[in-house]
Amino acid sequence: MTRPTFHDFKKKALRDPGVREEYESLAAAYHLKKKLIGLRKKAGLTQEELAEKLNTQKSNISRLENVNSKISPKLSTIEEYAKAVGFKLELDFLPIKTLKPHNDANSADAKSRAAD
Amino acid sequence: MTRPTFHDFKKKALRDPGVREEYESLAAAYHLKKKLIGLRKKAGLTQEELAEKLNTQKSNISRLENVNSKISPKLSTIEEYAKAVGFKLELDFLPIKTLKPHNDANSADAKSRAAD
DNA sequence: GGATATGTTATCATATATGATAACCTTGTC
DNA sequence: GACAAGGTTATCATATATGATAACATATCC
């Protein structure tokens, strides 16, 4: 694959505190939905086709993907969506960085990554 | 009642090919709850203390963490929990290895992922 | 224009997560 | 035994995600 993975991008981007801040804010709401759309299209599926795989309606897929909708989906919904488009959802818990006045070269952030 | 350990659960689940399909999500759910408990304890909080930080009741925290509960929490619930114990939730989508139609009895599929 | 494909929005019904209260169970301490 | 701390379970009320149907909007193609 020529494109950098999300992990690669993330790793690099998070080194920059400015980028990190934006990343954090986007992560929750906006990023997920764009991510889902991207995965679905990568799988070559329309909303209607995906809806059929998930035994639901295209309007519900639209609502899930729509940035304007304020819903916070259930975990299982995202998991099923991911599986239907060929991906597995993984949850990572990253320690919240308490910004110290000066931080050394090797921040312990990535090391103390708390996910499996 | 006695709660099943993860190994008990895994053995039982993998023994029956019929539940193989379900294994991923169930294991993920089991893992999540264990993960949450670990993070809370690492933060040095009791269920009651965490409940207070989240403006809710300890019984609700228990329900969320309890393996026996069949709920699939909202993403926002997990996010808020994580934040309250000092972590940030990140979602990653990992491509599912597409298996060849060669499915004999001991496919290593679930095995490789189940390793912890 | 008419038709098709894709996605959106509105609305209602239903399922389920969460809030809240109370009772209960262990374990430990006195 | 009495008590407290930490966690569990049951139950009800409420909030909200999801299921379902229909109408609408835009393209695109004939």
pLDDT at B99 over 60: yes
Q: Is residue A65 part of a domain?
A: yes
Selected residue with higher pLDDT from A25 and A86: A86
> What's the pTM?
0.73
CB A91 to CB B78 under 8 A? yes
Between residues B68 and B108, which one has the greater pLDDT? B68
In angstroms, what is the C-alpha Rg of chain B? 17
**A98 in Cβ contact with A86 (< 8 Å):** no
With vertex at residue B77, the alpha carbon angle to CA B76 and CA B82, rounded to the nearest 5 degrees, is: 95
Instruction: Please indicate whether, in this complex, the C-beta atoms of A79 and B25 are within 8 angstroms of each other.
Output: yes
Counted across chains A and B, CB pairs separated by less than 8 A come out at 97
Is B65 within a domain? yes
Q: Is any atom of strand D within 7 angstroms of residue A59's beta carbon? A: yes
What residue numbers bound the domain in which B63 lies? Answer: 6-88
User: For residue B116, which residues of chain A lie inside 8 Å, CB to CB?
Assistant: 116
Whether residue B28 lies inside any domain: the answer is yes
Residue with tokens 């940035």: A67
Helix (H) or strand (E) holding B53: helix B47-53
**ipTM confidence:** 0.76
* Percent of the residues in chain A that have a pLDDT greater than 90, as a whole number: 52
pLDDT band at A111 (very low <50, low <70, confident <90, very high): very low
Query: What's phi and psi for B52, nearest 5 deg?
Result: -65, -40
Does residue A26 belong to any structural domain of this protein? yes
Instruction: Please check whether residue A83 lies inside any domain of the structure.
Output: yes
Q: How many domains does chain A have?
A: 1
CATH number at residue B51: 1.10.260.40
User: Is B72 inside a domain boundary?
Assistant: yes
In a domain, A28, yes or no: yes
| Confidence grade of residue B69 (pLDDT, cut at 50, 70, 90) | confident
